């Protein structure tokens, strides 16, 4: 299941879009244009890019508080996404949800989530629904290493396995919850080893190697579509920024600069770029053109968000319930 | 008296109690080297070590349940749930276990634990990190619900909560953490079920909770300029509730405004209003007014969140409306 040349370029584009988008958020957040809590995905791009590349628009994902990467990779437009982060009416949730609640039903994105572990059972439900409706859709569910300490992880794993549901569990193991490192949360080294308890395959991949992630995800999705049940994929990676923007000194209270720098050396994008050039998949110039196009698209999204209006105050009272007669 | 922040007052209460009583252990997410997301447990790990200051994984049902079990068997755990929104993931442990055991066991066994958490919108953190559903816990018999409105209350109520043999839901307020006020250095306890009259007045009674106590006092100042004499009552604990202080105030003023940040429907303001309607209606000169949060999830968009919140101006407007009745 090797990715084609076009797919490889696609993976690069997705990762670079996430990176440049998040870097822009750093700046916008510092200037107060993006309010609230921003949990950035810088350093973890290969996971979202690799997994979403093997999903179709009809497939589902559930995301997390650190969700920008998943949403971009699954195909939501940058304009409505950026506008949502600004709290504007043109945002994908009309400005009501913000960073932690971005959703896009047209792209099968069943929401980022402010509750750690909250997305897992929802993915189970989406997969079960696909099975009941016989649609052959798959649900991929992203969650952090620390979220796997939540009971919802274990209950979801068991339900998915029991009913052979078309789910791909994607653990983004970046080594930390907020400040607590993995060794202080669990004695196992690999979250993937928990798959044994639920009789499903559990695989560990280098989460900074997008091709490895892609291949593992492709295999898991194939298995899910064939009705053979779920897979747990653990992607080892690292977040470069603090837990959220504003976490003092990018997390200096609980980790060292050296550790951060070691992981920066293993930058998923830098590595992949090298590979693309070495394997002559793309030229330096081609990649530069891609980068420029992405930067432009992000600038356009920022302008779109800045020019958009805030929702009117009355809109606060809308969307609490589905209007009678509006049911689909 | 020296002035310290609400956050430091809570920290001091924890520290003083822990020095005195070895049975006290503190559990929660990021409470160790990080010092708690709002810094309430700052420095405690260094002083008391990882056996007593325990960073937990994201396992709320697990560690809150563990606190219940530990409390039942001789410890005095204090747990931190990062935001009140996350109490929902351990609700069985709170509602069916922690609250009920003493009663179900026929008065045998008790659950002397504290669950600290916080409410409040205004930080742009949207619908799952900004809620104020403290009233929900006051609805459950068996739980004490404390609602400190100032650094002084924060320290005294937390000390009482830790020493008290009942399970306590200790509801802090995000916006208050950095506010300063006078706090005695020595340890002291504020008894449960004793409201505090924060300001005496003869025309209007405002029963206010949390950050709205401060807003009510500001409104009272402003009203005084118009010769309106406002009494401000802080119940300090929502359960048990000091009905007497509220009812006798109504007998004096005949006008009630309740200010509470929970959603209006079935919120704490509704309960106070119902009590006054049941027990003091013939003293009322005007309809009761509730100033509470709108019945919507907390919106993310800054102008919507701003509209969601309210303070002195809204209270002042209500005071004037109450005074329109002779
Ligand atoms: C149920 C619940 N408990 C606590 C939190 C607070 N919280 C937000 S993110 C986080 C750490 C999440 O760690 P992990 O799952 O590894 O994801 P990461 O942030 O590393 O991507 C915590 C404790 C929450 N959002 N939900
Ligand atoms: Mg993590």
Provide the shortest C-alpha distance from residue A65 to chain B (in Å). 11
Q: Cα separation of A159 and A175, whole Å?
A: 26
Percent of chain A with pLDDT over 70: 99
**B166 and B200 belong to one structural domain:** no
Please give the pLDDT value at position A107: 98
Tell me the domains of chain A and their CATH numbers.
5-309 (3.40.50.970)
Please give the pLDDT value at position A2: 86
- Nearest-CB residue to A115 (from B37, B62, B89): B89
Q: Cα separation of B65 and A105, whole Å?
A: 36
Contact in structure between B302 and B206 (CB atoms under 8 Å): no
Containing domain of residue B176, as a range?
Answer: 3-182
Q: Does ligand 1 come within 6 angstroms of the Cβ of A66?
A: yes
Q: Report which DSSP code applies to A192.
A: G
Structure tokens at B294: 């709108």
Please list, in sequence order, all residues whose beta carbon lies within 8 angstroms of the beta carbon of residue B27, skipping any fewer than 6 positions away. Answer: B54, B56, B63, B66, B67, B77, B78, B79, B80
Q: Cα separation of B266 and B260, whole Å?
A: 12
Q: Cα separation of A254 and B34, whole Å?
A: 7
Tell me whether residue B189 is in a domain.
no
Tell me whether residue B129 is in a domain.
yes
**B219 and B125 belong to one structural domain:** no
Residue carrying the six token digits 């068991």 = A158
**B32 and B169 belong to one structural domain:** yes
Disruptive mutation site among A33, A81, A98 for chain B (greatest number of B CBs within 10 Å): A98
Q: Cα separation of A265 and A268, whole Å?
A: 9
Please give the pLDDT value at position A182: 96
* A326 pLDDT more than 70: no
**B229 and B146 belong to one structural domain:** no
Please give the pLDDT value at position A323: 84
Write out chain A residues lying below 8 Å of B30, CB-based.
177-180
Q: Does ligand 1 come within 6 angstroms of the Cβ of A79?
A: no
Tell me whether residue B101 is in a domain.
yes
- Can you count the helices (H) and strands (E) in chain B? 12, 14
The torsion of the CA quartet B15, B236, B134, B158, rounded to 10 degrees, works out to 10
**B82 and B208 belong to one structural domain:** no
Using alpha carbons, select from B168, B61, B176, B161 the residue that is nearest to residue B119.
B176
Q: Cα separation of B297 and B178, whole Å?
A: 25
**B239 and B96 belong to one structural domain:** no
Residue carrying the six token digits 């979801």 = A156
**B57 and B171 belong to one structural domain:** yes
Q: Cα separation of A248 and A232, whole Å?
A: 33
* A41 pLDDT more than 80: yes
**B15 and B128 belong to one structural domain:** yes
**B144 and B257 belong to one structural domain:** no
Which stretch of DSSP H or E encloses residue B144?
strand B144-146
Cα dist from A159 to A110, A123, A128, whole Å: 19, 11, 10
Please say which residue of B160, B182, B204 terminates a domain.
B182
Tell me whether residue B41 is in a domain.
yes
Q: Cα separation of A51 and A195, whole Å?
A: 19
B297:A320 CB<8 A: yes
Tell me whether residue B23 is in a domain.
yes
The CATH number given to whatever domain includes residue B297 is: 3.40.50.920
Ligand closest to CA A148: 1
Q: What is the DSSP string of B205-267?
A: EEEE-THHHHHHHHHHHHHHHTT--EEEEE-SEEES--HHHHHHHHHHH--EEEEEEEESTTS
Alpha helices, H only, chain A: 5-30, 45-52, 68-74, 78-86, 119-133, 151-162, 210-225, 257-265, 268-278, 284-307
Q: Report which DSSP code applies to A315.
A: G
Q: What is the pTM of this model?
A: 0.96
Q: Chains A, B: CB contacts under 8 A, how many? A: 131
Report the nearest-CA residue for atom 17 of ligand 1: A144
Which stretch of DSSP H or E encloses residue A248?
none
Q: What is the DSSP string of B90-140?
A: GHIIIIIIITTHHHHTTT-S----EEEEEE---SS-GGGSS---THHHHTS
* A1 pLDDT more than 90: no
Please give the pLDDT value at position A29: 97
Write out chain A residues lying below 8 Å of B60, CB-based.
150
Mutation test of ligand 1: which of B58, B79, B131 has the most ligand atoms closer than 8 Å to its C-beta?
Answer: B58
Q: Is the C-alpha dihedral spanning B221, B251, B293, B241 positive or negative?
A: positive
Tell me whether residue B270 is in a domain.
yes
The CATH number given to whatever domain includes residue B134 is: 3.40.50.970
**Ligand 1 atom closest to Cα of residue B30:** 23
Domain count, chain B: 2
B30:A186 CB<8 A: no
Tell me whether residue B134 is in a domain.
yes
Please give the pLDDT value at position A328: 58
Helix B268-280 to helix B243-253 angle, to the nearest 10 degrees? 60
Q: Report which DSSP code applies to B81.
A: -
Please give the pLDDT value at position B142: 98
Disruptive mutation site among A96, A255, A317 for chain B (greatest number of B CBs within 10 Å): A96
Please say which residue of B135, B151, B182 terminates a domain.
B182
**B205 and B140 belong to one structural domain:** no
**B288 and B229 belong to one structural domain:** yes
Please give the pLDDT value at position B210: 98
Using alpha carbons, select from A145, A169, A142 the residue that is nearest to residue A158.
A169
Which stretch of DSSP H or E encloses residue A111?
none
Known catalytic residue at B129: yes
Q: What tens digit of pLDDT does each residue of A44-96 get? A: 999 999 999 999 999 999 999 999 999 999 999 999 999 999 999 999 999 99
Please say which residue of B120, B152, B182 terminates a domain.
B182
Q: Does ligand 1 come within 6 angstroms of the Cβ of B90?
A: no
Please give the pLDDT value at position B326: 83
Structure tokens at B190: 């504020």
Give me the tens of pLDDT residue by residue for chain B, a chain 326 residues long: 999 999 999 999 999 999 999 999 999 999 999 999 999 999 999 999 999 999 999 999 999 999 999 999 999 999 999 999 999 999 999 999 999 999 999 999 999 999 999 999 999 999 999 999 999 999 999 999 999 999 999 999 999 999 999 999 999 999 999 999 999 999 999 999 999 999 999 999 999 999 999 999 999 999 999 999 999 999 999 999 999 999 999 999 999 999 999 999 999 999 999 999 999 999 999 999 999 999 999 999 999 999 999 999 999 999 999 999 98
Q: Cα separation of B262 and B294, whole Å?
A: 8
Using alpha carbons, select from A110, A73, A232 the residue that is nearest to residue A165.
A232
- Nearest-CB residue to A95 (from B30, B297, B300): B300
Across residues A266-276, what is the average pLDDT? 98
Among B129, B139, B173, B210, the active-site one is B129
Max alpha carbon distance in chain B (Å)? 62
**B257 and B124 belong to one structural domain:** no
Distance A231 CA to ligand 2 centre (A): 20
Which stretch of DSSP H or E encloses residue B165?
none
ipTM above 0.90, yes or no: yes
Tell me whether residue B7 is in a domain.
yes
């Amino acid at each position: 299941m090797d990715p084609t040349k076009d797919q490889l370029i696609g993976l690069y584009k997705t990762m670079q879009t996430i990176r440049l988008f998040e870097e822009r958020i750093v700046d916008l957040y510092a200037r107060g244009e993006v309010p609230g809590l921003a949990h950035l995905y810088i350093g973890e791009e290969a996971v979202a890019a690799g997994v979403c590349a093997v999903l179709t628009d009809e497939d589902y994902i559930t995301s997390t508080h650190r969700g920008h990467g998943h949403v971009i990779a699954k195909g939501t437009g940058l304009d409505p996404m950026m506008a949502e982060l600004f709290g504007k009416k043109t945002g994908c949730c009309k400005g009501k949800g913000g960073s932690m609640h971005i959703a896009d039903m047209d792209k099968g994105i069943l929401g980022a989530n402010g509750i750690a572990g909250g997305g897992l059972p929802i993915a189970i439900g989406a997969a079960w629904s696909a099975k009941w409706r016989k649609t052959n859709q798959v649900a991929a569910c992203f969650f952090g290493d620390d979220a796997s300490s939540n009971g919802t992880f274990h209950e979801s794993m068991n339900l998915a396995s029991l009913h052979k549901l078309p789910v791909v569990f994607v653990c983004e193991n970046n080594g930390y919850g907020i400040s607590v490192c993995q060794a202080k949360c669990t004695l196992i080294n690999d979250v993937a080893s928990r798959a044994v308890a639920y009789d499903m395959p559990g695989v560990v991949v280098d989460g900074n190697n997008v091709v490895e992630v892609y291949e593992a995800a492709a295999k898991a999705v194939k298995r899910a579509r064939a009705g053979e049940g779920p897979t747990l994929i653990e992607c080892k990676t690292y977040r470069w920024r603090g837990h959220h923007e504003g976490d003092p000194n990018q997390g200096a209270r609980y980790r060292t600069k050296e550790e951060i720098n070691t992981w920066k050396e293993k930058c998923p994008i830098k590595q992949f770029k090298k590979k693309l050039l070495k394997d002559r998949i793309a030229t330096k110039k081609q990649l530069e053109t891609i980068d420029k196009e992405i930067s432009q698209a992000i600038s356009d999204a920022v302008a779109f968000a800045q020019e958009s209006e805030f929702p009117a105050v009355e809109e606060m009272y809308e969307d609490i319930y589905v209007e009678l007669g509006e049911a689909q | 008296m020296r002035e310290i922040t609400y956050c430091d007052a809570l920290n001091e209460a924890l520290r003083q109690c822990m020095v005195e009583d070895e049975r006290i252990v503190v559990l929660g997410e990021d409470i160790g080297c990080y010092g708690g997301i709002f810094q309430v447990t700052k420095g405690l790990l260094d002083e008391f070590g990882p056996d007593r200051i325990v960073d937990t994984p994201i396992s709320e049902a697990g560690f809150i349940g563990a606190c219940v079990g530990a409390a039942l068997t001789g410890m005095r755990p204090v747990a931190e749930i990062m935001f009140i929104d996350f109490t929902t993931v351990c609700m069985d442990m709170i509602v069916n276990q922690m609250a009920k055991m003493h009663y179900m066991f026929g008065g045998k066994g008790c659950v002397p634990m504290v669950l600290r958490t916080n409410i409040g919108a205004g930080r742009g953190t949207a619908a799952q990190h900004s809620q104020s559903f403290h009233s929900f816990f006051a609805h459950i018999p068996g739980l004490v619900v404390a609602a400190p409105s100032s650094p002084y209350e924060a320290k005294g109520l937390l000390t009482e909560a830790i020493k008290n043999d009942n399970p306590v839901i200790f509801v802090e307020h995000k916006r208050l953490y950095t506010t300063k006020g006078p706090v005695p250095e020595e340890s002291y306890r504020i008894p449960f079920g004793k409201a505090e009259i924060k300001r005496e007045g003869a025309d209007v009674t405002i029963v206010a909770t949390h950050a709205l106590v401060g807003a009510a006092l500001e409104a009272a100042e402003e009203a005084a300029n118009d010769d309106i004499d406002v009494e401000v009552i802080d119940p300090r604990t929502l359960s048990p509730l000091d009905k007497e202080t509220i009812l006798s105030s109504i007998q004096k003023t005949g006008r009630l405004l309740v200010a509470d940040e929970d959603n209006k429907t079935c919120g704490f303001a509704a309960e106070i209003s119902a009590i006054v309607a049941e027990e003091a209606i013939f003293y009322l000169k005007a309809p009761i007014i509730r100033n509470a949060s709108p019945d919507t999830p907390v919106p993310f968009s800054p102008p919507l969140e701003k509209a969601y919140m309210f303070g002195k101006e809204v209270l002042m407007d209500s005071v004037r409306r109450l005074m329109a009745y002779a």
